[in-house]
Structure formats: C-alpha cells, structure tokens
Structure 1
Amino acid sequence: MRIVAAVVLVFEAIVIGLAVPVAINLGGIAPGLAAGLWGGMALAALVLSGLQRFTWAHYAAWALQAAVLFSSFWVDGMLPAAIVFASLWVVGVIMGRRIDERTVAVRAAASGGETGASFPNTSQ
C-alpha cells in the first residue's frame, strides 16, 4: 500500500506544482500566495511520498488530500484535478491494502504457514 501511496503522491506533487501558474494566470491569485499555498503543498506531497513507511506520514497525506481539495475551490478548473487525485488516493489505499494482504497470504502459503487462504498446496 505504501508504494502505491508514494507513487500517487509523486504524481500529485507534479500536478499541484503546475497549479501555481494556473492559479496566478487564470485565478488571479497573488503570485506569493499561490507559490506559498500550492507550492508548499507540492513540496509536502514530495516529502510525504518518501516518508510513507511511517504511519503518521500516511495520515498526513490524508490531510494533504483534504487541503488540496479545499484549496481547489479558489480557482476554476482545479477542482476536477483535485477530485481525480483524491479518488486515486482512496483507490490506491484500498487496492494497496488488498495487494499487501495477498502478498502476505502468498508468502505464508509458500512457506507452509496457515493463513486461512484457499491456495492449493503444490509443495507436496
């Protein structure tokens, strides 16, 4: 799950960074405010992508998703991108957890451990 979350955050950082000129040119936001707000969130996304091995960073990334979503209401056209990345984040977390659970089950089955999963035992 953490790898999927990190990948989503890296791509999201790129899109958030590209939101700075959009906010300045189309939204009429002051350059300093736009750079501080969306540039800071882009930097936070990059930092959090590298720290996804820590539980607190995962929860901080959830807060970042909310911040991106709420800040996108200031500039027309940014809301769809925020919704797409929030959706990717949720799907990535859900699918990442499923992949992690499956990986644990396959490793346990390969080592002969009992997992409760219905994998055929081919090591006989």
Structure 2
Amino acid sequence: MAALPVPDSFDAAAIADLRAIFSEVEFERLLSVFMAELDVRPRLIADLISRGEVETARAEAHRFKGGAMYFGRLPVIDLAERIEVEPDRALPALASLLVEAARALIPAEYPYHNQDRYR
C-alpha cells in the first residue's frame, strides 16, 4: 500500500517534528487515523449538537482539537475550540463551519474523501 501524502494545508514544521519523533510506520498510522477523524468527527459533533447533546459535542470537539494540534495550526482547531466555549445558540453554525473546514482539508485523492457524505 502506498503511503498517504501529507496534505499541503498541514504545517510543514509540525510534520517534520512528527517525522523526527515517530518511525515512518508510526507516522503513517497517525496520519491515517487523523485523516479518518477529519472525515468522521466533525459530522459526529454536528449530529450531537442537532440532537441537543451539547455537553457530549463539546467533549468531542475538545478531543478532536487535541488530535488536530499535532498537525499544526489548522482551521478546524479554532472552530473546535469555539464549540467548546461559545453559547449553545452559536453551536449549529459553528458545527457547519467545522464540517466544511474538515472537508476542505481532505484532498480528493484520499480514500476518506467522499463529497456525497457532505450534501
């Protein structure tokens, strides 16, 4: 299986740091897991908010933010952080922005990229 390319939008210095810390196999696994998280976690957060499970959504946003921080200052980090602290009435709009920001980070050639999921 060919290695997944690192998206251009990821911070080059953060990627270099990760490559210095982890073996190539460990780095590939970390990248693969995070790319899958980019595909799933924002939609889960949005779904939780739409069902009124705000505290669970906030906890998931915190978890997602922590994983994203390994890859540099990505726009999803700021949005996840806002979901953690903003008033409940702001959360549906923030969740939509989070889903869109995550989608934009997943290159079309990735196995996780599926435009139909976001319509």
Whether TM exceeds 0.5 here: the answer is no
**Larger relative helix fraction:** 1
Q: Report the TM-score range of the alignment, normalised by the length of the smaller protein.
A: 0.3 to 0.5
TM-score, structure 1 as length reference:
0.40
TM-score, structure 2 as length reference:
0.42
Structure whose alpha-carbon radius of gyration is higher: 1
